[in-house]
Structure 1
Amino acid sequence: MIKFNTKHSGLFAAGVVFGTAGIKVLSSKDAKKLYTNCTAAVLRAKDCVMKTVSKVQENAEDIYAEAKQINEDRAAAEEAFEDAAEEETVEETTEETVETAEEE
């Protein structure tokens, strides 16, 4: 014989009633209006975030371009300095060679 537990049956029935009532509440006009308003707020927030992201990307591109230009200018200045240093070394070596040749 199967034992029938009224406590568990009562809990199951209450769950079905609350579930059915919950579905009706969630599908009501007021709930749909709430969902619509929440969705609209999320879309507005998305637009705001996307505008901010676009500004950050533009600034990052500007910063990257300026940093790249600074490094190129610096490299050019270092190259010019190295070229000047080499020219001085060549001139000094040439002068020493001329002086040594005159002494002999």
Structure 2
Amino acid sequence: MSLKDFDYKKGGIFAAGVLFGTAGIKALSSKDAKNLYTKATAAVLRAKDCVLNVVSNIQENAQDIYAGAQQINDERAAAEDAAEAEGQDEVAETVAEEETKTEEKAE
């Protein structure tokens, strides 16, 4: 391989990458960068607390709604049971009346 075959463009890109990488590592490990990371992490933690509070409120409201819905369904089922029992009583009374009429006719 000779210098004529060397691709200077690729070599320049590689050298620039090494330079930016070295400068980037120094920049990312500086005190200012660490201060920025700390503040960003603190903001994320505050946001997390806010989101958890909202989720907690939503869960409480959902539990209240669920309990209310269960109560409504229980009351409705009780009303349907009462109506069904009343309907059975009416049927029994009607049957008893018809039996009484049949017995009176037979006499």
> The TM-score by the shorter chain falls in which range?
over 0.9
- Residue pairs, 1:1-104, within 5 angstroms: 1-2=1-2, 3-104=5-106
CA displacement 1:47-70 (0-9 Å, x = unmatched) = 000011111111111111111111
- TM-score, normalised on structure 1? 0.93
**Residue type at the aligned position of 2:37:** Y
For structure 1, the 5+ residue unaligned runs are: none
CA displacement 1:2-58 (0-9 Å, x = unmatched) = 433332222211111111111111111111111111110100000000011111111
Q: Percent identity?
A: 62
SS in 1 for 2:6: coil
- TM-score, normalised on structure 2? 0.91
SS in 2 for 1:4: coil
C-alpha RMSD of the superposition = 1.1
Q: How many residues align?
A: 104
